[in-house]
Amino acid sequence: MQITVLTETDQSETRVALTPDVVKKIVNRGINVLIQSGCGQKSNYSDSQYETAGAKVTRTINESALKSEILITVKRPEDKILEKLNKNTIIIGQMDPYGSSSELNRVAKYGHQLFSMELMPRITRAQSMDVLSSQSNLSGYKAVIDSVAEYKKAVPMMMTAAGTIAPAKIFIMGVGVAGLQAIATARRLGGIVTATDVRPATKEQVVSLGAKFIAVEDEEFKAAETSAGYAKEMSKEYQQKQEELLSEHIKNQDIVITTALIPGRKAPILVTKKMVESMKDGSVIVDLATERGGNVEMSQVGKKTLHEGITILGYENFARRLPTDASNLYAQNIMKFLDEIIDVDNQQLSINYEDEIISGILIIKDGVLVHPMYK
């Protein structure tokens, strides 16, 4: 059995699908690993590290690479790769499953099996395979670090003979994995941290990290969470009340970090142009949702912008900005999933399509979109 990793075709992608440490574990299970030369360069993993781990490194996408049983990717491969692969190839990665059905139907025609890691079920057994959580954790951390780097003042309170420096006020909007890590990081740096979310269960988490919770806590708020733990879309009436509360709060903040995403939908606007313009000169806003439309009305995808003295960071996928660690965690997630589909003793694939993890992330099989969300 052979697993292949190719260089990501997206020039902005800094991560690699498998790291040398994980390759070594796979090779020790008796599985061959083929690595395209240079695929780990942006993540600080050299070809020699992969060779030491037991992988074969190839400079070209040769016939051997295209006939592997499994292709591991960070992002969905381009058509020029898909059309060359053996039709029986299993492709595992982040497949952007919420893209247009016409685009995915085009991908399906190549006949491969595609597993989309973003759809990993939120169950205990699958926690070690949850790429969204592992990457969001790093994004939340990096969002704070980058915002502080842009902020031209000290974050913690400092008392000196010359006077006292007031601590920075940092507001986190959205308390998922990224938001919780952002709160923890901002607190470690000494900021005065507040946070908001429409899910009532998050209040206790916010308080436990030493931050203050900000929200309109009415009856709708008490039922604002799905069984899967995601935020529900709130009524226009609630959104208006929440916006009024947040508008008053935001104008006094030094740093605002937005993290709100609803799977399969455009990201909700949380910070309007009017809110941005109410903030003090020198304040910083970080939008972690730009790839899905953004939470900040003024943010631009992939860019740092300045609007009336306010810096807005709209970089795509902050986890990419920590590629070594992001790749390592991603590869560990992939390794755990490989254990679910490979019978190591018999050196063959063993896929139980009735298993909730398998059925939860399988989006294409036998040329057809098979995931329930497409039906």
Read off the pLDDT of residues 104-125 as tens digits, 9 standing for 90 and up: 999 999 999 999 999 999 999 9
pLDDT recorded at residue 242? 87
- 188 is annotated as an active-site residue: no
For residue 230, the model assigns a pLDDT of 64
Give me the catalytic one of 12, 106, 230, 348: 230
- CA-wise closest residue to 39 among 5, 87, 12: 5
Establish whether 136 is a catalytic residue. Answer: no
CATH superfamily, domain at 138-321: NAD(P)-binding Rossmann-like Domain (3.40.50.720)
- Per annotation, catalytic residue among 127, 128, 239, 247: 127
The pLDDT assigned to 66 comes to 84
Domains 2-119+322-367 and 138-321 in one fold: yes
Give the start-to-end residue ranges of the domains of the chain. 2-119+322-367, 138-321
Which pLDDT score, from 0 to 100, does residue 310 have? Answer: 98
Burial (CB count within 10 angstroms: exposed 0-12, middle 13-18, buried 19+), residue 171? buried
* Catalytic, out of 2, 128, 133, 205: 133
Low-confidence stretches of the chain (pLDDT < 50) are none
pTM of the model: 0.93
Residue 346: the pLDDT is 87
160 burial level (CB within 10 Å; 0-12, 13-18, 19+)? exposed
Q: Which of 29, 122, 187, 188 is catalytic?
A: 122
For the stretch 262-296, pLDDT in tens is 877 889 899 999 999 999 999 999 999 998 999 99
**Directed axis angle between helix 20-28 and helix 323-341, to 10°?**
20
Question: For residue 67, what pLDDT is reported?
Answer: 87
Of 15, 36, 94, 130, which one is the catalytic site residue? 130
N- to C-terminal Cα separation, the chain? 33
| Residue 59 is a catalytic residue | no
Task: Identify the architecture of domain 2-119+322-367 in CATH.
Answer: 3-Layer(aba) Sandwich (3.40)
Matching residue, tokens 């057994």: 125
pLDDT in tens, 55-86: 999 998 888 788 899 999 999 999 999 999 99
347 catalytic? Reply is no
Question: Does 230 qualify as catalytic in the annotation?
Answer: yes
